[in-house]
Amino acid sequence: MATLLLLLALIFEIAFTVYSIVTKETHKKLKSWIRIGILAVFVILTLSQIIEWSFRWVMLAAFLFILALKSAVSLIRKKTPHYKTSSVVWKSTFILFALVFTAAPAIVFPQHKAPKVTGDYAVSTATYTYVDKKRIEEFTDTGANRFVNVEFWYPENADGSYPLLVFSHGASGIKTSNASTYNELASHGYVVASIDHPYHSFYTSSEDGTKTMINSDYNLEVSNANKEGVYSKEETYGLIQKWMKQRTDDMNFVIDTILAKTKTDNDFVYQHIDTDKIGVFGHSMGGAASVWLGRERDDIRAVVNIDAPFFSDLVYKKEIDDYVAKSEAFSTPLLNIYSDDVWNQLDSNSTYVANKLDNEQFNDAFTVHFKGAKHLSLTDLPLFSPILANILQGGKADIDKYYSIETENKLILQFFDYELKGIGQFTPEKTY
């Protein structure tokens, strides 16, 4: 929609400029009426919900309003400016650049249909900020306690108790990275708590409105760790331990806080959690942290790992300067969902050495491969911003973005239904 509107506007401006130059007239009156008409059409499209009003349209709407207002004033004054080619060209050039600039948010973040939500429950959300009084924030020197922002997706007007699922985002993601998954799960009777890991997330907003951006040093560490020759394998292993401690400490704190609140807090969300049925899942670094918790906590009954290495099972051997897999069986039910980006690394002796399909410590794990998918295909980003997704993951994925996320959501729901609710059988295909 945004691209089409921008294209039409650009064609009009260029055509009208050429027309003015050929006829050597400004045609000010006609142009003014057309610009007023364009604003009217934009308003009609918005009111009819063909254009879904959101942040993406604010700048363009403001610019169209300014143009229409200026045109209305020009019509009232009835002043016909003297034609001058250079003036017509410069004004047109400015309008063209302004249109592209103000339409950019709607192009980068286009309107898109939401993935299917198939459950019977309507879904509500709630956001809270938890402060960990046992930890001092390591990313600042203020001496403040570590805080974590958590958003819940849960069945609206629920009358029962439902399993708790805790999600952890990727290295520089945000807590809403897989919002379509949370909606699908909540619609089927789950309480989903998604965590923003401050300074690991691209940005997070606390209950009091405070915004916290990603830490530049951490972001550089992650970037350099994905490049050859920047860090030694021993240095990379040390970074992994640091990152995982931050992540798992956050997740443990959130789960423990929620469990405590189910006993003391009358908030609707907490009173509908079945504390005997807890699952964790995450994408990328969040998936690695989820598997780690599956080893640490006895109350975790199911884990979904989305495109992540088993950092919990990675051991660095100094004598061979390489990684090996831990020799300890993983007993928590586990579903692995891999894109091509990870699947193609499973046979290498990299940080994915523990993920190898022949690793006997994970004999009971379910593993599926989304052929043609890239790393971010397993999040909502390709829907929310295809341009950003393609830039961040180095190109467009071959898999259909709706097929990818809706199939992923279906598999995660079926897995948790089977492991936490005892519903049906879970027999996924190996490749999708």
pLDDT tens digits, one per residue of 190-201? 999 999 999 999
**What are the domain boundaries of the chain?**
2-108, 123-421
Residues (pLDDT < 50) of the chain are none
For residues 223 and 215, give the distance between their C-alpha atoms in angstroms, rounded to a whole number: 12
For residue 421, the 8-state DSSP code is I
For residues 77 and 79, give the distance between their C-alpha atoms in angstroms, rounded to a whole number: 5
> For the purposes of burial, counting CB atoms within 10 Å of the CB of 348, is it exposed (0-12), middle (13-18) or buried (19 or more)?
exposed
Q: What is the pTM of this model?
A: 0.91
CB distance 128 to 46 below 8 Å: no
Q: For residue 385, give the amino acid letter.
A: S
Dig out the tokens for 87 from the structure: 């003036």
List b or e across 89-114, with b for residues whose CB sees 16 or more CB atoms inside 10 angstroms.
Answer: eeebeebeebbeebbbbbbebbebee
Tokens 């690695």 correspond to: 288
Dig out the tokens for 171 from the structure: 């290295």
CA-CA-CA-CA dihedral for 389, 395, 399, 401, to nearest 10 = 20
CA atoms within 13 A on the CB side of 207: 11
For position 1, what pLDDT does the model report? 65
CB distance 240 to 222 below 8 Å: no
Q: What dotted CATH number matches 123-421?
A: 3.40.50.1820
Q: How far is CA 303 from the centre of its chain?
A: 20
Number of Cβ atoms within 10 Å of the Cβ of 406: 18
- Residues in contact with 15: Cβ distance below 8 Å, sequence separation at least 6, in sequence order: none
Dihedral sign for Cα 85, 15, 60, 78, please. positive
For residues 205 and 199, give the distance between their C-alpha atoms in angstroms, rounded to a whole number: 11
Helices (H), 109-171: none
Determine which helix (DSSP H) or strand (DSSP E) holds 104, and give its type and residue range: helix 85-108
For residues 39 and 62, give the distance between their C-alpha atoms in angstroms, rounded to a whole number: 10
CB distance 424 to 418 below 8 Å: yes
Dig out the tokens for 166 from the structure: 């805790």
For position 79, what pLDDT does the model report? 73
- Residues in contact with 192: Cβ distance below 8 Å, sequence separation at least 6, in sequence order: 152, 153, 154, 165, 166, 167, 181, 182, 185, 186
CB distance 247 to 289 below 8 Å: yes
The DSSP bridge pattern shows strands 334-338 and 366-369 to be parallel
Q: Among 357, 323, 325, 359, which Cα is nearest to 338's?
A: 357
Tokens 């193609």 correspond to: 344
- Residues in contact with 45: Cβ distance below 8 Å, sequence separation at least 6, in sequence order: 51
For position 11, what pLDDT does the model report? 86
Dihedral sign for Cα 199, 201, 206, 210, please. positive
332-372 pLDDT, tens digit per residue, is: 999 999 999 999 999 887 899 999 999 999 999 999 999 99
- Identify the bridge partners of residue 338 per DSSP, sorted by sequence position: 369
